A and B are shown apart, each in its own frame.
Chain A
Amino acid sequence: DVRLVQSGAEVREPGESLKISCKGSGYSFTSYWIGWVRQMPGRGPEWMGIIYPGDSDTRYSPSFQGRVTISADKSNDTAYLQWSSLTASDTAMYYCARQGYSTPFYPMDVWGQGTPITVSS
């Protein structure tokens, strides 16, 4: 059973750092790209970026470049999304999703359950 399981809900204050996780199982984690998607309340999804855990090749959407960091630990079949300084506008649901065997030019076929993040003082 192919699964992506994300870490739990987070509440942070503006300026704090945060790292959320996405653990894969049931498939070869290092052979598939993993993407991250933001969904703000009542809005469509926004594609943030993608990583290939096999060699940590990473690409970012220009909208998120410099604002988040995507990483992966292939020894633990886990991908990460992190912020160094959160703002209120980071309040959203964040999903990880599997995207492509070897190539990222593929749809997102398996999704995590989502990690809700609230940033508020």
Chain B
Amino acid sequence: GAGVSQSPSNKVTEKGKDVELRCDPISGHTALYWYRQSLGQGLEFLIYFQGNSAPDKSGLPSDRFSAERTGGSVSTLTIQRTQQEDSAVYLCASSFLTGLNSPLHFGNGTRLTVT
């Protein structure tokens, strides 16, 4: 079946503009995560949605970052007033549940470049 789909695959934007990144998780997956990987860095946790629970936003680096998950499916990560340090690959992942037997399935990411 289809995996996690992210769009766009690449995005170049000017500093100060807003961007929206989209994630289509695997159908039926209740957990959805956003991570980012800056150049030479590991996977930085941003936000986590699990079913109807309140999202864990503890990883969002500033109030310019926000995310929504509509209808328990598609998620949008929004970055307002982008800065050059926001340049990174933004990865979305989903899983059926959370736990040992529900590993995350990642999309191929959106490469964001802020000029």
Question: Are these two chains actual partners, yes or no?
Answer: no
User: Residues on A close to B: CB < 8 A?
Assistant: none
Q: Which residues of B contact A (CB under 8 A)?
A: none
